Structure 1
Amino acid sequence: MQLHTHTWGEGDRVALLIHGMMADHRTWRRVGPALAERGYRVIAVDLRSHGASGRGEYSPELFADDVAETLPTGADLAIGHSLGGLTLSLAADRLKPARAVFSDPAWHLASPSEGLGPQVFAQFKSAPREQIQAMNPRWEEADVDVELETLALWDESTALSLAPLFGTDLMPAAPVVPSLVQLADPSFLISPERAALLEGRGFEVRSVAGAGHTIHRDDFDGFMASLEGWVHPL
């Protein structure tokens, strides 16, 4: 499936952005322009069932097929958040970016017995502003606005279709390209034990102190600072 994309900048370098579940390209409203200022042409997708992209059947493999079909190969940088991180890891061998950043990637989805099953995520479809604000007290109001708009467009059956993956280990055996794993503090997806395993497999792992799951909205400055050495400087 060809996905809807949004582009910032006209630089010689190319950066790819892949959002997480319930979001779309607008989640990168600050990251896209910041990378464009650093000389990148930044391309962000709306995954299937999100934003302006089409609907259909859902699986990690299909998400990966879509981004491989839509985005250019050989980008200088690719960043995937949460579900976008899982998607990027499954498409990296086809996208072949020079560097990949996995921002709190969905490589371990908690089982329903741990309190975060697919039904819990699906219920966020109707989350009111007050709930979003309470769960994300560090977000700017513009991010809350975007969250409400993207939830309205999101097909919540995405979460339900991923039910077989909840409680399973989806961590890559090794990085396909030089890769940074950027973690929230604490991360409910990557435990310290899993982080140590990833380091042993050849990933660089960095945490953003005090940041929630959507690091780039919870602590934008911390998000950008943790990319030092992985993105072109100003």
Structure 2
Amino acid sequence: MRLVERSYSTKLHRPRPAIYTEPDGSFVIISTSWGNPEDGQKVNDDIAKYIQAAKADVEVTSPFEFLTALTNEANYLRIASLISNEQIYRSANKNEYISGVETLVLLHKGSQMAYAQVGAPHLLIQKPGRPLAPVAIGYEASLEMSGVENQILAPLPQTMLGIDASLNIRCGDFHVDEGDRLVLYAGSFWPDSLWTSSQANNLQQLTQKMVQQNPEAPFWLGVVDLENF
């Protein structure tokens, strides 16, 4: 996998995510820290360490069970996220909320893409000649609070890793083909151009359309090209 990304800033602040890409392109981690900026990188490091061990068939102990409804790869991502959640919760937030992290992990193996998601970015897929389709999307608290006037409020995450001993993770896997692209989007404003654009593979053009529609809404946008089929 090959990720290209950019952040668009306004007077409203959205933290820039910490990004980890495995050297062979097999998995990508995008983590956004709301609090201590170093926690995003810490989550990436913890998750990457577990996935690397699992892929190498290294025996690793875990207090979390495999779910039979998920593939091995989806289980790896789920357990890695739960381990990281526990570490952040115990080290930073057990007595007082200090930091929370949104994260998306993608693991590519052949024609299968496994994912685990806590908060943003949202995950969408574009197949050649077709519009974008959602795979895993969330709901930001700022959108819920915007009211009938649809005000653009400061970003406010709804779900984060590390703020509770338990964790709600969206996870699973889906089929991908050569030529497919994934679009990753973190933002509380959903512009029409995100769904109607036929240029989702062109990060610059897609960014321009989104900014033109609402220049006051900050966002982060990434496009993942699938390689090594």
TM-score calculated relative to the size of structure 2: 0.26
Name the structure with the higher helix share.
1
Higher relative contact order (CA 8 A, sep 6+): 2
Which structure has the highest strand share of the two? 2
